[in-house]
Amino acid sequence: MDMDGRMETPHAPGLYDVMRTIALEPDMAKVRLHADNHIRSVPPQQALAAAAALNFAHPFYLPTMDDLSAGRLGVNLDQFSELVMRARLTASRARQPNILVACAPKSASTFIAGALCKALDIPQVSLATPTYSAYSGSVLGANLREQETDDLALLRNGLNERGYVAQHHIRCTPFLARQIALYGIKPIVTVRNIFDTLVSLDDMLLQWRAVDLPGNPAFFDDGMPATYTRLDDEARFDMLTDATCVWYVKFLLSWQKCEAAGLVSPLWVSYEDDFIADKERLGTRIADFIGSENADAGQIAACFADTRNGAALRLNKGVAGRGDKIPAKTRERIVAICRCYAGEGDLRPLLGKEFVA
């Protein structure tokens, strides 16, 4: 299989089309129909390679076969452990740019990740789901999960011989720090003022919940009730505070504490001080962090300056100071929650002028 997921066999074009189709198909009956039909269409000597590629494209697809055939393809624990060790060994020594944008929500991380993919000509992937693309995980219903790293996803993307950009709302832990070190991942941590964040998050939720669908299917994207769009401003911001404030604090402190312990060395990117203030300087900082052999500061800065596709990359207003819309009582609650963590780290990136030591 090559870097784009194409099988290096004569039936590649048809296989690639089926892989792309099933990767974005949540209906397993349709997945099995497409995939099994393709396997039956190829020469017998190519069937196993085709089945492997189709399973690579969709984590829940397994080729239809009888027990005897499945048994002939079986592996035992010793074989599995050897293969995992070899995969980890290879991925840990791969010379490719592996970038994790560890992001607080609404911190321009989607835009930054997309710009880096374009500037470096590498794919955006998910390290939280072993899926064909970052978007595949969303289609298959993974959005409400905590975005913890998946070891199989780390391996399959670490072996792609190109590198990648992954964007996740993920807190740092000693375990994650060890994975970052093992696989040579460069973590970029994006942060934003919490008041501005909540206003931008509210905008996004109102937009994608503009149509009220039966059964509230958007719950598995954002965890919000169907009544969210019918609440007044104060009630919505109170709900967002309850749902997210402590997570934001833990996100910031987790990266600060792991850095202070010498477990990880991230590049910190402030929405206000870096992304809004000076994108050219930000491009230089990121290029230096990634390494000049993999990144060109000018190309990164040019991609940051190109906001024509900003809406698709969730670049909302692209300004600071929108948090003034938050009601005073809600602001006081947020500050009070943050004050509980006083002394644990530097909360100024969240609170700005309302920082309380």
Query: Tens digit of pLDDT for each residue in 25-38?
Result: 999 999 999 999 99
What pLDDT does residue 147 have?
A: 87
| Domain coordinates in residue numbering, the chain | 12-74, 90-354
Q: Report which of residues 264 and 310 the model is more confident about.
A: 264
Return the CATH class of domain 90-354.
alpha beta
Check residue 354 and give its pLDDT. 66
- Beta strand 164-168 pairing with 98-103: parallel
End-to-end CA distance of the chain: 54
pLDDT band at 6 (very low <50, low <70, confident <90, very high): very low
Task: Return the SS3 of 264.
Answer: coil
Lowest mean pLDDT among 30-34, 215-219, 315-319, 331-335: 315-319
237-273: per-residue pLDDT in tens?
999 999 999 999 999 999 999 999 999 999 999 999 9
Ranking 114-118, 188-192, 238-242, 300-304 by mean pLDDT, the lowest is 300-304
**DSSP secondary structure letters along 289-336:** HH-TTT--HHHHHHHHH--TTTTTTT--S--S-GGGGS-HHHHHHHHH
